Structure 1
Amino acid sequence: MEEWRQIGYPFGMAFLYAIGAVAIVSLVSFSGLVAIAMREAALKRIVFLFVGLATGALFGDAFIHLIPEALGSGIGKVTTGIALMSGILLFFALEKFLYWHHCHGVHEESADTLTLHDHAPKRLGALILSADFVHNAIDGIIIGASFLVSVEVGVATTIAVVFHEIPQEIADFGLLIHAGWSRGKALLWNFFTALSAFLGVALVLVLGEGVENFVPVATAFTAGAFIYIAGSDLVPELHKTEGFGRTVIQLFAIVLGFGLMLLLILVE
C-alpha cells in the first residue's frame, strides 16, 4: 500500500508488531497464578492499584494518542465523532447483552434448587469464557488497528490493554474457581480464550490492507471503546474504595497510567 510506504512503516512490520503485542497480552491470562500465590488481602491491593493504572492508561491512550491520530488523518470531525460514538455504543450493547444473558440464565435456573446446584456453576463458567473469548478478540482488533497507525500508538494501546487485562483476568480466574473449576483447568481455559486475540488482529490487518480509511475509523472506534471501558467499568470500581489515603493512592495510580501514555508521546 502506498500509504505505508509514504510514512516509512511497512505493512508487514505492522503485522509482526501486532502479533508480538497480542502474544504478550495473551500471557496476561496467567495472571491467575498471582491469585494462587498471594493472600487475599495482598491480592486486593494489587488489583486495586491496577484498576487505577488501567483507568489512567485507557483514558490517556484515547485522548492523547487515538483521537488526535483519527482527527489528523483527514477523515473529518464528523466521521471521527461517529466512529468514536459507535465504539461506545457497541461496547455498551455487548456488555448489556452479556449481562442480560448471564442474569437470565441464573434466574432461570433459580426456579429449581437442584438444577441450580447441578448446572449453575457450569453455566457460569461457560458464560465467563464466552465473554472472555469475545472480549479478547476485540482486544486483538484494537491492537491490530493501533499498530496500523504507528509503533508508538500500538505500544501505547498494548500497555493500556495489559493494565486493563491484569485485574480482569484475576477476577475471571476467581469467578471460575467460584464456579467449581480446578485451578489448573481455570488457568488453561483462560489461556485458550486469550488466544482469540490472534483472530482479532488477523481480521483487522486483512481489512486494513484492503479498505480505504479503515485505519482512522478503527482508531476513533477504539478510542470510544476505551472511553466506555474506563468510564463505565473501571471508574465505578474506583468509587467503591473508601478512605482518604486509598483515594490518594487511586489518584496517583490514575495519573501514573495517564503519564505513561504522555511519556510515549514525549519520547517519540
Structure 2
Amino acid sequence: MFTTAIAGVLSISAAAVFSYSFLTRIVERMVSLSVGIMLSTSLLHALPEAFESQADTRTLFACLLGGLLAFFLLEKMAILRHSHHHEGDGHHHEHGHDAHEAGKAGWMILVGDGMHNFTDGILIAAAFLANPELGLVTALAIIAHEIPQEIGDFIVLLNAGFSRMRAYLYNLACSLLGVIGGILGYFTLEKASGMIPYVLVFASSGFIYIAVSDLMPQMQRRATLRETVPQVLLIALGIMLVLFVTRHH
C-alpha cells in the first residue's frame, strides 16, 4: 500500500523537520486544518458511503457508538494521548524522577504509535476498497492529524534521551506498521467486503472523537478574535480541500 507508506513517512518526516525549526505557529495552524479535514471526511464521505451500502442501519449506528466509546477508553488508557510531566510543575519528586518518567514515556509512545499506525493502515485500506477518492481523503485526514501529534511525540522522545536521528528512525519504524496494517487490511477486507462499511464507521468515530474531544478544545484555549478568524478559515479550507478531492464523487 503505497498510500499508507507515504502517509507514514510524510507525517514522521514533517514532524522531524518542524521540531528542528521554529515553525510552531504552523503546527498550531495544522490543528485547525485537521479539524476541517477529519470532520468533512467522516461526515460528508465515509459515513454516507457506509450507510449507502447494504449494511443494517441500526448496526452501523451501534458501531458508531461503540467506536466513540472505544476511543474514549483508549484515551483513558493513555494509548492515543500521553500526559507529559514537566519539571517545575509544582509537584515534589525525588531527583531524577522526571528523567526516569520521560524514559518510560518514550517507549510508551513508540508502542502506542505502532498500534495506532497499524490501525490507520487498515482504515486507509478499507476506505480505498470502498472508493478510491474516499481512500485518498482518509489518508489526507490521517496525515493532517498525524503531523502535529508526531511533533509532540518526537519532542517527548528527545526529552526521554533519544538522539534526533534515533527518534526519527524509531518513529519511522513504527510508521511501517501502518504499511503492514494496510496490506493486511487490503487482502482481508477484499475477501470480506461486507466488513468495509463497519470499518468505515469505526474510522469515522475515531476522526470525530479526536476532532471534537482533542483538537477543538486546544483551539478553544485561544479565544481572541485574532486567533479565532484564522481557525475558522483553516477549518473551512480543510472542508473545501476534501470537497475538491472528491468533487467527482
Identity %: 34
Q: Bigger shift: 143-152 or 116-125?
A: 116-125
Of 29, 53, 67, which aligns to 2:12? 29
1:5-45 per-position Cα deviation (integer Å, ceiling 9, x unaligned): xxxxxxxxxxxxxx111111111211233234422xxx221
Is the counterpart of residue 265 in structure 1 residue 243 in structure 2?
A: no
1-structure distance, mates of 2:63, 2:15: 34
C-alpha displacement of 1:99? 6.1
Of 38, 63, 71, which aligns to 1:58? 38
1:57-87 per-position Cα deviation (integer Å, ceiling 9, x unaligned): 0000001111100110011321221122222
**Residue in 1 aligned with 2:233?**
252
2-structure distance, mates of 1:125, 1:185: 12
2-structure distance, mates of 1:117, 1:93: 26
Q: 1:189–1:68: structure 2 CA closer, same or farther, 3 Å change rule?
A: same
Determine which structure has more spread, i.e. the larger CA radius of gyration.
1
1:164-200 per-position Cα deviation (integer Å, ceiling 9, x unaligned): 1111111111111222222111111111111110122
**Residue in 2 aligned with 1:80?**
60
The runs of 5 or more residues in structure 1 that have no matched partner are 1-18
Work out whether residues 207 and 214 of structure 1, in 8 Å CA contact, stay in contact via their aligned partners in 2.
no
The runs of 5 or more residues in structure 2 that have no matched partner are none
Q: Bigger shift: 88-97 or 148-157?
A: 88-97
Q: 1:111–1:242: structure 2 CA closer, same or farther, 3 Å change rule?
A: closer
**Residue in 2 aligned with 1:210?**
191
TM-score (norm 2): 0.89
Is the counterpart of residue 20 in structure 1 residue 2 in structure 2?
A: yes
**What SS does the aligned partner of 1:266 have?**
coil
1-structure distance, mates of 2:172, 2:155: 14
Q: Which has the higher helix share?
A: 1
**Residue in 2 aligned with 1:221?**
202
Letter of the structure 1 residue corresponding to residue 144 of structure 2 = F
2-structure distance, mates of 1:49, 1:240: 14
Work out whether residues 38 and 208 of structure 2, in 8 Å CA contact, stay in contact via their aligned partners in 1.
yes
**Residue in 2 aligned with 1:167?**
148
Of 213, 216, 221, which aligns to 1:232? 213
Is the counterpart of residue 44 in structure 1 residue 21 in structure 2?
A: no
Q: Aligned-pair RMSD on alpha carbons? A: 2.3
